[in-house]
Structure 1
C-alpha cells in the first residue's frame, strides 16, 4: 500500500514530516532519479534521495520507536550543524545505525530545559502539530513590573505578527524587586512565542526554561547537557497522546530504574567528558 512520501521519509528518520514537506517543496528530494513533488506517494521500495544522499527506508513493521529526553543548556543551537561552529543539541546524543534522531520542536539558543528526540518522524510531527493541543509548560523569569491587567491580556490573547496567541495558564511563582518567576502553559510551538507574548506587554524575559511536555515533566536528576532514554511505558504515553499505535519493544531494560542516583552520576560524568572534548576541539581550531 502506498504512503505519502513525506511520511515514509519521516519514518526513516530523515527529519520530521513537516521538514520533509519543506524539502520536497524545495526540490531537494528525488524518487527513482526524478524530482519529487508534494502529494507524491511511494510504495517504500523505491530509490529515494534527499540532497543527493540515499535514504535507507524502513518497513513500518520493522521500525522501533525510541524517545530521548534531553536537558538543553543555554547556548546550544537546535540544528544539526551550525555554520558559525556553535554547539548543537545533536552533538551529545548517542549515535544511531541506519536512522537518526528527530527533534520534537525547537528551543532557541537562550532557552534551556526539556527537549524530546525520537526516531519516529510521525510521532515528532504529531507532538508538534497544533491540532493535537499538546501542552508545553515553561518557567519564565520576567524583568519588569507585571500587573493583573497584563496577565488577563496574555490569557485572553495578543495579536502577534503571525496571528493571535495566548497562554492557557499563568501561575505566579514568586520573586523580588523587578524580577519575578511565572509558569506559563501553551499548546503550540511558534518561534519565540513565549518571549514575544511577554514582550508585547513591555517586559523582558531574562530566563526561560521548558519544564514539561504533555503530562511528562523534566526529570529533576537529569543534569544540563544530559539525556536519558524513555522506557516503553513513557514512549507509549506519548504515542497514545497523539493517537498512534503502541510500541511493543524498547531498548531500555525492563528492570532499569528510571533515574536513580548512580545513573545520574554516570550522566554527569558523560556530560563533563563531552565538555572537555569540546573545549579541546575549540582550542585546536584557534
Structure 2
C-alpha cells in the first residue's frame, strides 16, 4: 500500500536538513565568487607588471543557487566534505607545510620573515640599513612589493621563501647566548638545536646569558612578529632567586608598580614560590622590555642570583630537561597562532 503513495510523497530534505543544505550551497556560491574575483585581480596585477599575456576577463556574478535542487544524497556528500572528522587527525608531524603562491605580491620585510631570516620588525631595520637587494638594486623601503620569484639577497646571499615551518621548544641552560651567531665565539642556543631540523630557525625574543628556561625557536616570521610585539601582551612567568628575603613593602611595590628609566612597570601578579624561603619569588609579567625582571628587583635593592622562565605564551618546560628540546604539537601551534589559551593577557581594549 505504501508503494502506491510514493509518487505523492515529497522526498526532498526538510527541516534542519534542508536549512543545512541551503547554508552549504550558499557557502559554495560565495567561495566560487571570491575565487573568481581573486583570479581577476591577480591577472590585472600581472598585466600591469608585464607578466600577463592575455587581457583579464571581468568577474561574473555567481549563479543563484536553487534551494530545491539538492537531493538527500547530494546533501550527505557535501556535509561530509565540508565538515571532515578532525578527531581522526593527529599532531604527529613536527614540520608544518604551507602552500605559498609564488605570484602573490608581499612586502619585502614579510618576504624576509617568511624566508626565516628574522621577524618582520627586525627585517624592516635590515632593509632600511641597505642590507637587502632585489634584482641587484638596493631597496630601502620595507613595504616594497615582491612576488617571490625575484633575486632577493641579504648581505649578498640569496634567500628563498620557507615552505616548511618548524617550532622548537628549548629549556635553555646558563652560559648560552640567545642569538644566531656571536662575534665573540660564545655558545649560542642554536648550538643546542642544530640537529633538530634542516630548516634554519631563530629564537623568538631573548633571554640573558645567565637566564634559564622556556625559549621558542622557529622559522615562522609572522608568528615571531606576533609573539614579540607589545600589543599582543604575551604572558611570561619567572622564578626569581634573590640574595635576601623580599620585604612586604617591596612585594607590594611590585604589584602597584613604579617608575624605571624607560617608563612605568608593574607585575601582573607575584607570589612567594616557597613559603619557607621568601627569597624565592614567582612573578608574572607581559612586558618584553630588555632585562626587565632583573631591573625591577635591582631597582628595589635586591641582587638576582637566579632567573628561570617557567612559562612563555602558555608553553612550559614540563618534561624537558635543561639543555634539551622538543617540537611543539599541533594544538600548541594552533594556540600560538590564534592567541588562545592562558598564555596571553586578556584585555577588553585589546583586539
C-alpha distance in 2, partners of 1:64/1:152? 47
Residues 165-174 or 70-79, more deviating: 165-174
Equivalent position to 1:209, from 304, 308, 322: 308
Deviations 1:171-198 (A, max 9, x none): 1112767x71111111122111100011
Aligned-partner Cα distance in 2 for 1:20–1:227: 27
Task: Give 2:191's aligned residue.
Answer: 91
8 Å Cα contact 1:129-1:188 kept in structure 2: no
SS in 1 for 2:189: coil
Q: Distance in 2 between matches of 1:216 and 1:90?
A: 19
- Asked if the contact 2:245–2:280 (Cα under 8 Å) also holds between the matched residues in 1, the reply is no
| Alignment correspondent of 2:323 | 225
1:155-177 deviation line (CA, Å, top 9, x unaligned): 22222222222211111112767
State how far apart, in whole Å, the 2-side matches of 1:50 and 1:16 are.
14
Question: Does structure 2 conserve the Cα–Cα contact (< 8 Å) formed by 1:102 and 1:124?
Answer: no
> Does the 8 A contact of 2:131 with 2:155 survive in 1?
yes
CA contact (8 A) 2:165 2:219 kept: yes
C-alpha displacement of 1:144: 2.7
Equivalent pairs counted in the alignment come to 235
Q: In the alignment, what sits opposite 1:246?
A: none
Q: Find 1:7's aligned residue among 97, 101, 110.
A: 110
Asked if 1:27 corresponds to 2:130, the answer is yes
Matches within 5 A, 1:64-103: 64-93=164-193, 94=195, 96-97=197-198, 99-103=199-203
CA distance in 2: counterparts of 1:175 and 1:141, whole angstroms = 13
Matched, 1:48 2:136: no
The two structures, once aligned, show a CA RMSD in angstroms of 1.8
SS in 2 for 1:90: helix
Contact 1:138 1:184 in 2 (8 A): yes
In structure 1, the residue corresponding to 2:126 is in which secondary structure? helix
Structure 2 equivalent of residue 196 of structure 1: 295
Q: Work out whether residues 139 and 182 of structure 1, in 8 Å CA contact, stay in contact via their aligned partners in 2.
A: yes
Residues 97-141 of structure 1: CA deviation (Å, up to 9, x unaligned): 4x4112111100010011001120110110111101110111111
Normalised to the residue count of structure 1, the TM-score between the two structures is 0.77
- Could you tell which deviates more after superposition, 179-188 or 117-126? 179-188
Partner Cα separation in structure 1 for residue 121 and residue 274 of structure 2: 38
Q: Secondary structure at the match of 2:184?
A: coil
Q: Which is bigger in relative contact order (C-alpha 8 A, separation at least 6)? A: 1
In structure 1, how many angstroms separate the alpha carbons of the residues matched to 2:256 and 2:146?
A: 44
Distance in 2 separating the partners of 1:222 and 1:213: 14
Conserved? CA contact 2:167–2:216, under 8 Å: yes
Once superposed, which parts of structure 1, at least 4 consecutive aligned residues long, lie more than 4 Å away? none
2:287 & 2:164 partners in 1: Cα distance? Answer: 27
User: C-alpha separation between the residues in 2 aligned to 1:11 and 1:158?
Assistant: 39
* Aligned with 1:120 (options 197, 217, 220): 220
Report which of the two structures shows the higher radius of gyration computed on alpha carbons.
2
- SS where residue 164 of structure 2 aligns? coil
Runs of 5+ consecutive residues of structure 2 not aligned to the other structure:
1-103, 341-351
> Is the Cα contact below 8 Å between 1:16 and 1:102 reproduced in 2?
no
